[in-house]
Structure 1
């Protein structure tokens, strides 16, 4: 059966329901790319599960956080087929839509992040927060937990391979954006920590605003966990790659929903040049690492932000 024949008789349904175009586009992309989602028949000529049924089961498992064996009562589907639908859909969503919805931020994207966070939180040059959530693991070996920890801690060097997106605060220019963090992170120029024991009124005010900005970003990630309960529950799959695909697929579909509602901050521009990625071990890469790990810049940035936020918001100071 050709790929063209698979879409016959379904295009009219796609055109008459504009609100479901994103869902149908995802469904058709999976049909064209993966044999698992194509309509097939067994040796007796009986039709197997359709693409829509497999997608519904996979999305239900992600949204409800249920076990694959519960699909037997819901759709008369075996545990093995339900689990395979979940894994294949997650991988298909990442491989098909990852270049758009999981792209590394370009210079234009970072500038839009700066403007949005400064308008909402009062922090110029802020990208986001890196300590959003932790996906608790269940029944994992020690080696896998160490691998997951190693994979998750790579974000501490964020900015090394990102585009240069300079910003100015309090009259000083900085080359990279930053993330508000708590006290456990190192003193990097891309991290902004609150004062541990603030004494002056300026430091106390900055601590309140910094913690408020971090919690606001955490609440945004909480919306993701509320929509996709599989992220909130303990992880069941046995392979790290599968966990990665499931997490990324939830993020991609969450970004699709936000974009469909018109609430996305950054907008994808096809013709926009992508960021320049520096290879580890090169001179430019090492210079960026040294620049990011500069503790003096870390302290200077926090001081400039504290002055900018406090003296620029005297009317809001309590």
Structure 2
């Protein structure tokens, strides 16, 4: 995502403030951009500790879910740098639906089978990867630079992070006061 200067357009409100760029929960290796929200390395105070716990838990849930999909579907494990977002979205939705169908089916069965029968080794060459990609690239460089500047805005990053800390505290912090 870092190589891209695009972020999904969404509208949401946090702590009474409106935002229009999606954000991603990340670890500390990502830059402090408006679209990346990291945990707090050394949280000070109950609000920061609670935010850190919630952010890390949600991020790990997403990582685990994506890991399950990568283990099951080679198409998710392989790079998709040349594919357009619509195609990637359709592939991900299809994999999630298939995964849920498989889990539901396996829940009803008690059949024992050797998992290695279904796994593909690295470099087996049995997966087909379509390298066609969309050439619908915006040509307005001023527009691209404006979006790039908005995404890389460190002040917007700090504002969103602060608003998320307050939101989490208002939503879950009452439990912390009683401890």
2:13–2:19: 8 Å Cα contact kept in structure 1? yes
**Counterpart mapping for 1:136-285 below 5 A:** 155-158=1-4, 160-228=5-73, 251=92, 254-258=95-99, 279=138, 282-285=141-144
- Provide closer, same or farther for how the CA distance between residues 171 and 227 of structure 1 changes in structure 2, counting only shifts above 3 A: same
Q: How much does 1:161 deviate?
A: 3.4
Q: Provide the TM-score with structure 1 as the length reference.
A: 0.38
Measure the CA separation in 1 of the matches of 2:92 and 2:8.
22
**Aligned residue pair count:** 138
Q: How much does 1:216 deviate?
A: 0.3
Residues 1:300 and 2:159 aligned together: yes
SS of 2:2's equivalent? helix
Task: Tell me which residue corresponds to 2:173.
Answer: 314
* Structure with a larger share of its residues in strand: 2
Measure the CA separation in 1 of the matches of 2:171 and 2:97.
36
2:8–2:22: 8 Å Cα contact kept in structure 1? no
Deviation by residue 1:205-255 (Cα, 9 ceiling, x = unmatched): 1111100011000111122134247978xx9xxxx89xx9xxx79857523
Measure the CA separation in 2 of the matches of 1:302 and 1:290.
18
Measure the CA separation in 2 of the matches of 1:250 and 1:227.
13
Listed as ranges, the gaps of 5+ residues in structure 2 are 105-135
Q: Provide the TM-score with structure 2 as the length reference.
A: 0.63
Measure the CA separation in 1 of the matches of 2:153 and 2:59.
23
Structure with the greater alpha carbon radius of gyration: 1
* Structure with a larger share of its residues in helix: 1
- Provide closer, same or farther for how the CA distance between residues 218 and 304 of structure 1 changes in structure 2, counting only shifts above 3 A: same
2:25–2:55: 8 Å Cα contact kept in structure 1? yes
Q: Looking at both structures, which has the greater relative contact order when contacts are Cα pairs under 8 Å and sequence separation is at least 6?
A: 2
Task: Tell me which residue corresponds to 2:124.
Answer: none
Measure the CA separation in 2 of the matches of 1:183 and 1:211.
11
2:33–2:154: 8 Å Cα contact kept in structure 1? yes
Deviation by residue 1:260-289 (Cα, 9 ceiling, x = unmatched): 58x9xxxxxxxxxxxxx7625522211111
2:15–2:166: 8 Å Cα contact kept in structure 1? yes
| Superposition RMSD in Å | 3.4
Aligned structure 1 segments of 4 or more residues deviating by more than 6 angstroms: 229-232
Listed as ranges, the gaps of 5+ residues in structure 1 are 1-154, 264-276
- Provide closer, same or farther for how the CA distance between residues 212 and 311 of structure 1 changes in structure 2, counting only shifts above 3 A: same
SS of 1:165's equivalent? strand
